[in-house]
């Protein structure tokens, strides 16, 4: 992996750690309410809160996997490519089912990173 893809992958990982923070630790915050376009009242519901916290753990582990692939793995490109494709597919599903903006909000940086990795 070249320097640009290393930087981009690190930024994607940080994005997923931020999503984890919103979903797991700041579940009922005003920021989470704005990002996910949900009322704080709805976020306070136990069922919603538990689902968010669980999803947050998944997003945090995606961040960990990207950093592992980038800085520790002996085959970084394969691991990072796998997770970037996963992120893009999930963002595409979100765009189809929730809001078209999700594709660029959640998947935009991953798409750029994927292109850099494929053409480097």
Each of the 120 residues of the chain gets a pLDDT tens digit; together they read: 899 999 999 999 999 999 999 999 999 999 999 999 999 999 999 999 999 999 999 999 999 999 999 999 999 999 999 999 999 999 999 999 998 999 999 999 999 999 999 998
- Compute how many other C-beta atoms are within 10 angstroms of the C-beta atom of residue 7: 14
| Pairwise CA distance, residues 67 & 72, whole Å | 8
- All residues at 6 or more sequence positions from 4 whose CB lies less than 8 Å from its CB, including other chains: 116, 120
């Amino acid at each position: 992996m070249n320097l640009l893809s290393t930087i981009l992958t690190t930024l994607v990982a940080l994005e997923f750690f931020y999503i984890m923070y919103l979903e797991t630790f700041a579940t009922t915050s005003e920021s989470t309410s704005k990002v996910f376009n949900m009322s704080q009242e709805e976020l306070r519901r136990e069922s919603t809160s538990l689902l968010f916290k669980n999803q947050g753990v998944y997003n945090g582990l995606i961040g960990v996997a990207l950093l592992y692939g980038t800085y520790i793995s002996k085959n970084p490109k394969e691991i990072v490519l796998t997770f970037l494709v996963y992120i893009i597919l999930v963002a595409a599903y979100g765009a189809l089912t929730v809001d078209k903006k999700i594709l660029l909000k959640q998947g935009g940086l991953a798409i750029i990173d994927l292109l850099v990795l494929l053409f480097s």
